[in-house]
Amino acid sequence: MSDLEVSVGDIRAAHGRIAEDVVRTPLLPASWAPGDLWLKAENLQPIGAFKLRGAVNAIRRLDPDVRARGVVTHSSGNHGQAVAWAARAAGVRAVIVMPEEATPVKVEATRALGAEVIMAPGARREIVAEAMGAERGMTLIPPFDHADVISGQGTLAVEVLADLSDIDTVLVPIGGGGLISGVGVAVKALSHRTRVVGVEPSLAADARDSLANGRRIEWGAQATYRTIADGTRTPVVGEITFPIIQVTVDEIVTVDEDDILAAVGTLARRAHLVAEPSGALSVAAYLAEPGKYGRAVAVLSGGNIDPPLLARALTLPT
């Protein structure tokens, strides 16, 4: 893996760099589930998602004079909140470009963290963010396709492997690939026997198709925006993340919308954890085939869910 843009050394360095700001989230046994399932509860981060790890690492890595000019990003919600939180902690300005379709709870949470929020059509949010950065002299912190962001996300795998030995499978949600890239590099360096399995909605399965075809396959926004798992609506995995996925990810599985929503409800009722649909993907995959994964860790990547959607999940029959 020496030719990849992120190494386990980068991830270890990031883990030390972000330790003062990022919660070392618990690894919780899911004794209510069949088999041997554990949950890495990243919904317990201050902004409710793993994204804080990458944002803090990337902003801390900036030269002080560059950081002082502020940061900008584009995000459907969790990365935007993470950048807003990390920028506030560093005492610098943040501009977050969010898609017009973003869930209101994520928009308001981002504003509450002190960031300037600019709404844009989903297909243009990256263009708008880049233009805003050029105009104001701010540094772009991409949501996934950036070595420092990937290194930060991978720190959760360092914690998992320190907390639990003899893991057969780590199940990881996939959007743009930043999380699974960091996790993949760490796991393959530190626990050779452990499989890394990505999980996508069947309505946004661009990473599955990309891995199967050996090249990045783009799904249009019209297709990916059908899924309730808004954190996975990215139409294509990143240029940096895809080569890492090819080397470190053993398999990508998909889950349907009913299973995703059912997993949200199950986590709330049985684990007493609030998960958004993207955050519940790994649990949905495990519950669909509990005998497939052995001793498994499911990354519960986020918990920022609109209350009406949570209420809908809780009314599903058990």
Return the SS3 of 251.
strand
Query: In the annotation, is 75 catalytic?
Result: no
**From 151, 191, 210, 301, active-site residue:** 301
Rounded distance between C-alpha atoms, residue 135 and residue 208, angstroms: 37
Is there a catalytic annotation at residue 106?
no
Give the count of alpha carbons within 13 A of 248, CB side only: 32
Catalytic pick among 40, 51, 106, 188: 51
Helix axes 51-61, 147-163, angle to 10 degrees: 130
Distance CA(96)–CA(79), nearest Å, equals 9
Q: What's the full length of the chain, in residues?
A: 318
Burial 71-101 (b: 16+ CB within 10 A, else e): bbbbbbbbbbbbbbbbbebbebbbbbbbbee
User: In this structure, how many other beta carbons lie within 10 angstroms of the beta carbon of residue 123?
Assistant: 13
What is the residue whose two structure tokens read 């005492």? Answer: 91
Q: What is the DSSP string of 101-164?
A: TS-HHHHHHHHHTT-EEEEE-GGGHHHHHHHHHHHHTPEE--SSSSHHHHHHHHHHHHHHHHH-
List, by residue number, the catalytic residues. 51, 301
